[in-house]
Structure 1
Amino acid sequence: MPVEVRKVLIPSFGGPQKIQIVNSTLPDPAPNHVQVKVLYSGFSGADINMRIGVYPLQRKAPLTPGYCFVGTVHALGPQSTRFAVGDLVACLSIYDAEATYSNQLEKHLIPVPKGLDPKIATTLILDWNTAYGMLKGTDWKGKKVFVHGMSGAVGYALMTLCLLEGAQVYGTASARNHQTIRDLGATPFVYTDKLWITYMKQIGGAQGVFDALGFESWDESYDILSPSGGTLYGYGGNLGTLKGEKPRSVIWPTLKLLGRNLMFWSRKSTKFWWIDRDWSLFLPNTQEVFALALQDKLKISIKRVFELDDVATAHREWTSLTGMGSVLVHVS
């Protein structure tokens, strides 16, 4: 039978005042789909950009945001056999996570191992998985890396994983978090004074730079790569949002970012990174970060947990939240 649902709705693009909490009805899951009672949803820059209407290739409004979630199986659609009612599952949903119930293709659900806290699992499915995917396949031991936004969700995960691998970690973060970052073993800078550019050049540049800000920040990040070779990983496009500027599309800056690879003589390279639930590595990467968390090898940090009714507050306060790490929405 259809279930009653409470969910976040963006009826049209604009400011946080556009956010609504509405009651609706969700139909039974279709064939090969599973209906999940959502416990926690991730909250990130993707939510902000979708609300504004500038996230790449996003749906038109109206839409319900929520890029990932963890929840329990509530009902099975025809031909769905992998899970049982009550199983704890994770999903990179892209949409519809900020709802008490969500219908998802069975193939997109991942079992959450026993003993893994649902809140922790929610941070892993997107935030830590994104960081892990960027770092995987490269030996970072002893190398200099620079991470923008070490206080943020993916930035914090990148910093932690790089330190775990023995890298020398530098990056930008809010001044209020600098001592905590130093205690963890990284070297923080304030983004706005640009002293980080001078410092990184003085020490020979970085072998890896991770930049979720985009736009002109990618130009500056490219500039601090080591002349002997390094890679700039661009992901996201949050600079305009953080600065309160008029929304800008990230498409042209991304083309410019990738176009730098034509300068093969520079020994520098660029990549635009995103996470895709249909990639062959998505499932094994997710399982690997789950295993690392269960082995207590990751220092997971959750900055704030908002209730579903307070999602508009999350949008308003996103740039001023204190603490470090991931932001979650407690859905049901």
Structure 2
Amino acid sequence: MKRVVVDHYGGPEVLQVVEEEAPRPGPGEVRVRVLASGVSFTDALIRAGTYLGGPKPPFTPGYELVGIVEELGPGCRRLRVGDRVGALTVWGANAERVCVPEKYAVAVPDDLDPAEVVSLVFPYMTAYQMLHRAARVERGETVLMHGAAGRVGTAVLELGALAGLRMFGTASAGDLAAVERLGAVAIDYRNEDFVSRVRQLTDGGVDVVLDGIGGLVSLRSFRALRRGNPVTGDPGGRLVMMGNYATLAQGHKSWRGWLEWYPATAVTAAWGLLSPRRRALGYRVQKLRIDHQDWFEQDFAQLLEYLRRGEIHPVVAERLPLAEVRHAHELLEQTAATGKLVLVPERGEGTG
């Protein structure tokens, strides 16, 4: 089989495709023949060595996959050979065959497009859980999403509309129209002050900010929150921090970004702990999955239902063979507003 390998941190040029024997599943694992695996900005962070808790080289990237179970390891009883499943791997998915823990595999209907479902496993799951598990939004609340034209951002805007939220989104000038088409108020993050803008458009600030950039953006996002009133029991606005894209620059690790991200994030977290009027929360999809696999399964079922009803529209920007993984990583910056990049088996490969 073929799999992608990163033998040292760096840009897209460090990605290699190797050929080797297929792995055998260990106790509690199933081997999955991969039908589709994703390529995301988080994969770029892992590849560059800026992802907190990420693997050390050599490793295989790939945060999520959809595939077919073809072998059961000792102790596996829930799944059967031939079942179609999705899995949040965090890394390791960019291969033709992958062993995953049976307990973390979720059932995927056979009649759905695997490349579309991959978006539900990670980008849409992140968006749904930030809104409903972390921020615990209520109908009518106001939400600001940073990077609203990206994969997670567009998922947040779609799911926010379904939840009856009033949405705001920051984006570059070229992506503002895409944000507005999804029903959000678009804010040009280069030419507009998002703090001033949301304060003008709301009653002193938004109820929720979703921030995957971090660093100095998180500091300013906290200021964009609506202040609560401890006397009346109103906790005020909530900032959900879920990423550190500020530590990546042109596909490589940014030391300047790191030096800004750490202290700024720490200060923001401290403000959230000390302030009686606003809160700062952290969210990581893989951490919540480990602690609450039942939530992951429930939320995935809800996303599948939305997909079947045509209420969400995961867009696949390109389907590329595994051998073109480097090109897929190079396309990441160019396709932020056009959908998900998905690696699929080459014709005649990964199908036996």
Alignment partner, residue 145 of structure 1: 143
In the TM superposition, what are the counterparts of 1:144-163 in structure 2 within 5 Å?
A: 144-163=142-161
Equivalent residue for 1:52, pick from 48, 51, 64: 48
Distance 1:43 1:27 in 2: 22
CA distance in structure 2 between the partners assigned to 1:182 and 1:46 by the alignment: 25
Does residue 255 of structure 2 align to residue 259 of structure 1? no
**Distance change (3 Å), C-alpha of 1:286 and 1:279:** farther
Aligned with 2:105 (options 103, 109, 133)? 109
Residue identity in the other structure for 1:233: V
Query: Are 1:268 and 2:278 counterparts?
Result: yes
Separation in structure 2 between the aligned mates of residue 151 and residue 34 of structure 1, nearest angstrom: 36
Gaps of 5+ in 2: 229-235
Shift of 1:253: 4.4
**Paired residue type of 1:99:** A
CA distance in 2 between partners of 1:45 and 1:224 (Å): 25
C-alpha contact 1:177 1:324 (8 A) present in aligned 2: no
SS of equivalent to 1:278: helix
Q: Distance in 2 between matches of 1:196 and 1:285?
A: 31
AA in 1 matched with 2:247? G
- Structure 2 counterpart of 1:246, from 225, 230, 254: 254
Matching residue's letter, 2:165: A
Measured in 2, the distance between the counterparts of 1:306 and 1:191 equals: 31
- Is the CA contact (8 Å cut-off) linking 1:151 and 1:325 kept in structure 2? no
- C-alpha deviations, 1:113-169, integer Å up to 9, x for none? 243221121100111111111111534322221111111111111111111112111
CA distance in 2, matches of 1:140, 1:193: 31
Q: What is residue 226 of structure 2 aligned with on the other side?
A: 226
- Contact conserved, 1:38 with 1:102, CA < 8 A, in 2? yes
Hey, what's the Cα distance between the residues in 1 that align with 2:187 and 2:268? 23
Q: How many Å apart are 1:309 and its aligned residue?
A: 1.6
Counterpart contact for 1:156–1:324, Cα < 8 Å:
no
> Do 1:303 and 1:322's aligned partners in 2 also have CA atoms closer than 8 Å?
no
Compared CA separation, residues 193 and 91, structure 1 to 2 (3 A) = same
The alpha carbon displacement at 1:322 in A equals 5.6
Q: What are the superposed Cα offsets for residues 266-321 of structure 1, whole Å, 9 maximum, x if unpaired?
A: x1111111113322222222222122222222132233333212211222232222
Match of 2:243 in 1: 236
Report how far residue 193 of structure 1 moved: 1.9
Q: Paired residue for 2:163, among 160, 165, 172?
A: 165
Partner of 2:232: none
In 1, Cα distance between the equivalents of 2:198 and 2:327? 37
Q: Secondary structure at the match of 1:25?
A: coil
**What CA distance in whole angstroms lies between the structure 2 residues aligned with 1:302 and 1:173?**
20
Candidates 84, 87, 92, aligned match of 1:88? 84
Alignment-derived partner of residue 38 in structure 1: 34
1:28-68 CA-partner distances (Å, limit 9, x unpaired): 21222111111111221221111111111111100001111
1:191 is aligned to 189
Is residue 207–residue 238 contact of structure 2 (8 Å, CA) maintained in 1? yes
Contact 1:56–1:251 (CA under 8 A) maintained in structure 2: no
1:84 deviates by 2.1
* Aligned partners of 1:153 and 1:327 also within 8 Å: no
Q: CA deviation at 1:9?
A: 0.5
Query: Could you tell me which residue of structure 2 aligns to residue 279 of structure 1?
Result: 291
Question: In structure 2, how many angstroms separate the alpha carbons of the residues matched to 1:26 and 1:302?
Answer: 28
TM-score between both structures, scaled by the size of structure 2: 0.87
Unaligned runs of 5+ in 1: none
* 2:82 counterpart of 1:75: no
Q: CA deviation at 1:260?
A: 1.4
Deviations 1:64-113 (CA, angstroms, capped at 9, x unpaired) = 01111000111122222222222111001112100000011111111112
- 1:295 pairs with 2:291: no
- Alignment-derived partner of residue 231 in structure 2: none
Between 1:308-317 and 1:100-109, the stretch displaced more is 308-317
Q: What fraction of aligned residue pairs are identical, expressed as a percent? A: 29
Question: How many residues of Structure 1 are paired with residues of Structure 2 in the alignment?
Answer: 327
Q: Which is worse superposed, 241-250 or 158-167?
A: 241-250
